[in-house]
Amino acid sequence: MDPNDQDRTSVWTQRQTAELVHGQNVWKASDVAADAEVARVYVFNLKMQTTEPNPLIETLRDICEILFDSSPEDPSAPLLWLNKLDTELKTDDPLCTKGDNNVDMVIPKLLDVLRECLSSHRWSQVVPVIRQISKHELTTFWKTSMEALYVSESSVPLVQQLVKELKTVRHLSCQEVLLEYLMFLLHHGKIDDAKQISQEKIKPTRFQKSTRDHHTEVLYKSYLGLVWYVEWKFLKMKIKDLDENSDLVSNYEEIMAVYAQKAMIGFQQVSGEIGVWDIFVTKHVEILEHYDKIDEAKDILTEYRDRNTENLNAHKYVYYFCVRNGFSANEEIQLLKNVAEKCPSDSMVLQLCNKLVEDNKIAEALKFLFDLLDYSCWQQELKPWKLLVDLIDTRNKSLEMIHTLEEIWKLRQSWWPQYHFTSYDCPEKEEECELCLCKARYAVFVLGQGFQNIHKDFQHLSKTQIQMLMSSVT
């Protein structure tokens, strides 16, 4: 490989990592002449602005130098795996590519290879892969520039200039550039600068909006809503520190109402959109609850849950909302059942079991409790085992409860003993044995006094340990 390519490996790595981080999965060759011209102008501006060495600027210069290179020669060594892949993906289907290479299939596979190289730090293989994907990509240039500057708060002025230049490039989406800049400002807490973005006039760069353009617009307006929410929250916290009779309180509340309205306009953009919008939905509901618009807030949460049934958080948000606003116990139980259905190992299942026990639905609680204990993350947790023991120790067991226990145990008797009741769980000190004693109680309940033989590991228990366990159930 050419030494110059080796020197640029780290730059290429940054460049492509930024693309992967931002979800760029469709690569297109852009106008080389236009890209190079933008790069030349930007490097010229950088050189004119500073005389002192700056690693961030040097990184950007390296990126621009890569864009300058429009030579058709490829100094990298031939890639045998690429040739093989190219041959395998040839097709004679006249409805596809008329005998040419199926690029739509090649590029995703190359991206998989690139991702693997980056994740395993095989830097020497990154450059040739990138060269095969796309030699010139302006989107990569500006996103990598932002990524390189992201970590340094002192780079804000440089980012401002970069954004100013990029907004005028016809190959880029102005709104996407501003969205990236907005997230950069929020990251560094530059709320005043972020508010100024709302005054930007965005000129459309395409005659017809694509799906990507629509998604960018939704995100852009929603994040602007987040900016106004931060301002609203700041004033809300400020009012708490003021005297109730202060004249500033009424002034702040008026300003808060304006900020709240602007924030909610931004958050409403995600209504009806497919995707995970937790951060915007929860902030929207918080504002509505503050102004006692409970029904409207609940409608937003239930709509979001119904539209994202696989999103566990969406179910939890409705439950927490109902708890905060004093909804009925039956409604809370039903919401917890929805959570248990989506994730039987979630900690909220334990809350469900306790509520069912309070409602005297012990048999139903047992089913959820056993499902919870099937997961290894609860093997060494005391609370569920303590609840289980308390339930089976109930003197007046109903026929329904006994039948439920028998049915539940039939499904588990072949593997639960080896899974839960081993000498590995046995304590060395008496004060550490509460969890083990709970397990012992249940083992005795289902297996009788010979529970120490349920697994060969128990043959290694000391007499003291056996006496401790046996005494707990006698």
Angle, CA 273 vertex, CA 267 and CA 276 arms, to 5°: 75
Give the whole-angstrom CA distance, residue 217 versus residue 208: 14
Locate all alpha helices (DSSP H) within 325-411, ordered by sequence: 329-342, 348-358, 362-373, 382-392, 399-410
What does pTM read for this prediction? 0.67
Show the tokens assigned to 252.
């702040």
- Per-residue confidence (pLDDT) for residue 161, from 0 to 100: 85
DSSP helix/strand/coil, 360: coil
User: Which residues touch 459 (CB under 8 Å, ≥6 apart)?
Assistant: 452, 453
Q: How many residues does the chain have?
A: 474
For the cut 60, the answer to whether the pLDDT of residue 141 exceeds it is: yes
Residue-wise pLDDT for 25-65, tens only, equals 333 333 333 444 444 444 445 444 445 555 555 545 544 44
Q: Could you tell me which of 262, 315, 325 has the C-alpha nearest to residue 293?
A: 325
Residue 101, beta-bridge partner list: 90
Confidence of residue 123 (pLDDT cuts 50, 70, 90): low
pLDDT digits 0-9 by tens, 209-219: 677 888 889 99
Flag the least confident range among 158-162, 223-227, 233-237: 158-162
- Listed residue (200, 204, 146) closest to 170, CA to CA: 204
CB 165 within 8 A of CB 41: yes
Asked which of 72-81, 171-180, 318-327, 379-388 is least confident by mean pLDDT, the reply is 72-81
pLDDT digits (tens, 9 = 90+) for 73-122: 444 444 454 555 555 545 444 444 444 444 455 556 666 776 676 677 77
Residue type, 121: H
Of residues 472 and 309, the one with the higher pLDDT is: 309
CB-CB neighbours of 67 under 10 Å: 22
* Nearest-angstrom CA–CA distance, 30 and 67: 11
Residue of 166, 161, 160 whose CA lies nearest to 141: 166
Q: CA-based Rg of the chain, rounded to a whole angstrom? A: 31
pLDDT of residue 346: 97
Contact predicate 169/138, CB 8 Å: yes
Coil, strand or helix at 163:
helix
CA–CA dist 300, 288 (Å, integer): 10
- Tokens, residue 214: 């629509």
3-state secondary structure of 433: coil
| Range 158-166 average pLDDT | 84
Inter-residue contact 368 to 342 (CB < 8 Å): no
Residue 90 sits at φ, ψ, to 5 deg, of -70, 145
How does residue 365 score in pLDDT terms, banded at 50, 70 and 90?
A: very high
Mean pLDDT of 11-23: 38
Question: Are 186 and 227 contacting, i.e. CB atoms less than 8 angstroms apart?
Answer: yes
Give me the pLDDT at residue 462, please: 58
Copy the structure tokens of residue 270.
């995600």
Cα dihedral 379/383/389/394 (nearest 10): -150
Highest mean pLDDT among 135-139, 261-265, 380-384: 261-265
pLDDT of 38: 46
CA–CA separation, 57 vs 43, rounded Å? 9
Block residue for tokens 């304006």: 258
What residues form DSSP beta bridges with 90? 101
* pLDDT over 90 (residue 172): no
* Segments of 156-302 assigned E as strands: none
pLDDT: which is higher, 282 or 437: 282
Q: Which of 26-40, 336-350, 378-392 has the lowest mean pLDDT?
A: 26-40
Q: Determine the 3-state secondary structure of 101 from DSSP.
A: strand
List Cβ neighbours of 439 (8 Å cut-off, separation of 6 or more): 385, 420, 421, 425
